[in-house]
Structure 1
Amino acid sequence: MLRHSRVFRNFLISYVAILLIPCIGGYISYRTSISVTESISIENSVIQLEKSQELLEHRMAEVEGMTRQLAISQEINALMNDRGTERDVYGIWKAMRNVLTFGQTNDFLRNYYIYLANYNLIVTSGSSFRPEHYYEYFHYDNLTLEEWEQQVLGKTHRSEIKPLTPFSERDVKTSVITYMQSLPLDSFNDTSPAIVVVLIDQKTIAGLLSGLTEQSGGWVHIYDAEGNTIFLQGEAVPDIAKLHADPGFDENKTSQFYGSDLVITTRSEKNGWVYQAGIPRSTLMEKPNRIKQASWMITGGAMLIGVLVGLFLAYRNSLPINRLIGVMKEQFGKDEDTGRNEFDFLSGNIAGMITKNKLLESELHRQLPLVRDAFLRRLIAGEFETRDEIASAAAQADISLRQGEGYVGLLQINGYAGMDTVEVLNELNAARLLMKQAVTELAGPVPMTDSGSDKIVLLFFSEADRLPGPAEEERISELMETLAQHMFAEYKISMQAGFGEPFTSVTEVGQSFDQAKQALEYAVYLNKKGILWSHDTQIENTTYYYPLDTEHRLISTIRAGELEEARKIIDSIIAQNLEQRELSVEMKHQLVGEMKGTFLKLLDQKIFLESPLFESVKKRIIDIGFSGPLETIQQDIHAIIQELCSFIANKKKDSHAQLIKQIYQYTAEAYADPDLTLYRVAEHVERPEKYISQLFKEVTGVNYSDHLIKVRMDQAAVLLKESSYTVDEIAARVGYNSSHSFRRAFKRLTGISPSAYRQSCQD
């Protein structure tokens, strides 16, 4: 408890000290803000007017956009182009329904109509009228029916705006501005087939500008480039004509004091309208007085809240530290000095952990040569089953496989055969070390490993511009000749070398090593100095070629489902026995029997023994004849390998499909958990996380994280459509701690926000 209170107290003192710093800075800022509040208020007023201007222009742009949508409406165009004697009642009904939808999205479009000249008919969102009937209910107070028909219905308008005009709507007096657009948009005649007229009530515009008039008690005046008033509202509106005629008033200034008002002026670059707002000086000076009063209240409240938050944070942040201290003291000894500073205790133990980690890293680097040596030994012994396994092991050993092609060579130090005393072994160790250093100096970093006490295995991986062939073999021969001369001249060490046929895949390295070993044995037998290539040996052999390690590699490759690798091994065996040997009939029969025995042993393994193809494949193996040519037998074996590898591949696919199904099911059950991650999924299915990630991507084509998001968004869509939960509640129910993150993910996946999706479902 003492230790906990000490850590807690240290955190709390730190938070309180941090809290005092902004308080002091806030006081200084308060003293400064008093002197600049007036300018800030002016700037805010300008911004507010500009935002109101931007909002009004945006609404007017929507009005113009609506007319463009009507211009391409099939129903409206059909009515405009109808020259029949009878009215298209159904077309008019469809047009009315089409018109109705626009008024639901913009309050500027609540009162508008379309005049169809060929029908002499006015279509509104609720009904259709003859012009004279419409005029009875809706008309300008200063225009007669004839003047209205002439100025509005009888002319061509191109985005024309009629200034603020008194208007009567079913005997209700108001004032409106009028937007007029002829249809089609490219009408150039004096009359047009249709006219869209939008009546925008002064009260609707006032709603956009209420922040400038209601809050400050000021006034707003909007007029067009000709000086016609578009909108005028507010308390204590000055004489506008006198204001504009006063030479002391500069209309080009954004803000200036005129009388007891601050007059703000902005001009629209889109339509030339001028926006003016007047704010009383007394309103501007209210904020400095409020700042003084509010500053002390806010400072006191902030201090109180800050102390409470500091208490909470001090407790929350000290809790894991104390837990960590408890774990470390349990691990590193409970008899630690109780008076010791906790942070020093953590620092010392964490530093010790880092030091141990560095020592471990250093040890791993020190062990790297052993890892490389073990990799090379497994590679030449043919213990790997697939290319992917070889590539992973090579990356771990920090060995570059380059193109995966090259040669295997076997060097032997002469003069030590049959000698195994301690002195001889030490001398051989030194000789091998000298020879490896000489190879590195002559050929660069070549992968090498020991083979017995007097032999060294070399792997020459070909570069992209030096593929296996006569030129590469000549280069290696010259390199080995130079090496032999150097070793004899410097250390009196003589050597022999054997090289196998080139390998075209890293899985064939073991086979090439066997050939190099045979070539070296042949060179030793003939006492041939220097380098001997496998294809230069003319070994007359009465026995067949089918070594045990090749058989094991064939079995492992088929069990792994590697069809191409298994075929290459069979082709290599046949080539060895056909091209480099002349087998007797008895040897040929024995070779075929050995190969058939290999496949029968393979079938006796559990994975094939319980398979439905066991009997059929077993019969095919037994039916392989001894008297046929090896090429025919080779084709029969290829067909058997094809069937076995296909079975393994399908088995893997079934296993993968079952695993993916299990992942789908677990995700569907646990998607609401905010802590659901790929690590949790891997833990559930008892597979490595990286394996699950790669498998899921390979089978489904998407990352697991994308799948999880889709599952959550699908469920969220159901809740938005069928439940009354709020968006925040739905976010929590589908596994999101942050509703902001949920909204962003939902919109990214569906293209619309959750609220808009719910509204569309309701509509």
Structure 2
Amino acid sequence: MKGFWRYWGKRKPKSIFRIFFLSYLVILLIPIMLGIISYRNSAVVLKEQMGVYNVSLLDQTRQVFDTYLYGVDQLMNNLSLDETILDFLHSKLPMSPRDQYAMSRAVRSLSTLMNTNDFISNLFVYCRGTDAVLTPTGKYTPELYFGQEASYMGTNVDEIVSSLQLFSYKTFRSAEGTGAAQNQRYLLYLNSLPLNQKNEPLGTAVVEIDMNKLEAFLQNADMLDQGAAYVIDGNGQTIFGVGDEKWLSGIDWNRADGKRFFFTRTNEGQNIIVSYSQSTLNNWKYVSVIPSDIVLKKVNYIKNWTIVITLVELALGGLLSVYLARRNYIPIKQLADKLKLKVQGNFSGLNNELAFIESAAEAAVGESAKMKGIFEMQRPVMRVTVLNRLLNANEVMVAGIKDSLGSLGIHFKGDIYAVLNIGIEHYRKSISPDTYEQQSIIRFVIVNAYEELLKGSYTAYGFETVGDELAVIVNMTETPPDYLESMYEISQQVKRFVEQKFHTLITIGIGGTHQGVEGLARSYGESKKSLEYRIVKGRGSITAFAELTDRPVPFYAFPVQTEASILQCVKAGDMEKVNELLNGMFLSDHGGASMTIEEAKCMFMHLVSTGLKVLGETIIDSNKVFGDNFQPVVKILSCTTVVEIQTTLHTIFGKICLYMAENKKSHNDELKEKIIEYIYDHTADTNLSLSSVAAFLHMNPSYLSHFFKQQTGENFIEFVNKTRLEKVKSLLRTSKLPLSDICSRTGFSSPATLIRVFKKLNGVTPGQYREGGFEPD
């Protein structure tokens, strides 16, 4: 074989032939290798499908067992909390008549609990104080019960009793009888009583589950298939199962930490597939084991045929590869021979004819043209970099940059400079935010539109700065009188064009004009500050720095009373008043276009805070008020301008007020009843007042007074006095209490106050009322 490859290596004139031949051979080997891989994967997939199928069966089995065991667990919980059983656990020898009665009640409770679950075979409670075993049928001594009724638990009664005196909490234990009781196999579920007493528990409740029934269920679960099935507890110990336990030897269940999984392993020289599903109820693992040979029987059959077909394909494919390689090699050889006669140069060391053809083609390209092309490609990037450095450069840096401007095609005609800053707010409709290429096109169009519109009167260069911001450097020989007007007009044209053609919104800031290249950084700072003013004028605005100058020192005040009034009016559902308060804030001396950036930021933060407070204090069902798709908090926090937050708050407060107004009637009736009930309950309290009721109901006193008058037709004081006088009249008619005692029972501060109020409202004094025995008109 080595001699064969040496022979092919020496055939340099026909090395391309070797490449063709190997290429066709590789093409031939690809489907063959795919077939082999497919075969191997089919075996793996079949194993996996068998594992998945077994896991699914185990899941069904686990669900059934979990349902049964959940019922057992619920029965144990009811037993552990049963008062009659817990009462008898405190009994001691000798038993009193009361203890006997408690025992009978406990036996009845066990009988009732036994009838609630058909899955269990029996249950009993060992009582430590009386050394007795309670069952649904009666009371037994340990010797009698464990010797006859439950002999499967062992032959040593003392050991059984000692184990039952230890603390157990939801513990499972298997028990298998011997001798005559060898067919008795149970799964015991133990719980010490009471649950909160770990040291020396008063007793232990035991539920017996017939293990033969459990194994019979596994036997009929259709998942053995010449294998085995087991149930393993959280400690890796086998609880019960069907089949030979040798399959489980050597498996570290602590590493099998998944809830459901399967894997393959070798056990005693035989490959097996182990599947398991873990219960979340008690961490038991339900395991099935199947020999791999059963699964791979059909796979081996496919394997034999795959080998035969592969050998046939190799033989036929080899012959076909030689034929195709020779047919394609001859034309290339002829072309290479012709090029050798016409192309001059040193092409020694080339391995084959194709390499010679490629080298000859590359030699025809001039090195200077290549370098020029590279420079031209990098020129736009280099120009943007230099212009960005100019915007942020100091005087020393500007001096070093000036010399490189000409080589990059940057030529300033005058010595007056200004900067326009364009912020792209968002891309709409057809432009995806994630499509960088489309966004780049829009930025390119904006820059070129400015350059074209400014051409003639000015020299302009546009470029990208940071994020979605662009800058345009405007150069002129002198500042024209209509500089700002022309910048506004050109900016409006670009803005309209971009909105109409690309559905994209832009905001523009215009910096002032400055002398020298050094003034670019200052004008750029002014344009950025103008761009920030969109928080006041809104997105899509055009602002010149001249608008921001000559303003007074910022002073801002946001009255707390205004915020409280808005909150109260929203709760009352008075949208007209809410609109009046909101509009008043924007029409004040600090609102509108006269606001400074600092004042606008303060107002913006206060409005956001007010909106969030109203949402927090109006406890309403958000879905009923706004619908499922409207999130008010997200809507408020997404606002970026004062105008946006104003519009958003109008919308949100309007919806809340409408909801409050629709539900106002039932709310008013409920509130009125609460006020009247509070007055009736506190009539004797001398401190009963409008303020105390308002504090109790967390309301504003003035609003409470207005509300009470509106709902009852009486003011608050009149209603309180009327209620107190009704109670005074009752005491005057039915008792001989002195006025001082009546005052203390009706909330009057003194007899004099009582007499004055009583006479004012009834025309007679309390004494005259009592002596006359009548109620005057």
Fold-level similarity (TM above 0.5): no
Greater C-alpha radius of gyration? 2
Q: Provide TM-score, normalisation by structure 1.
A: 0.29
Q: Provide TM-score, normalisation by structure 2.
A: 0.29
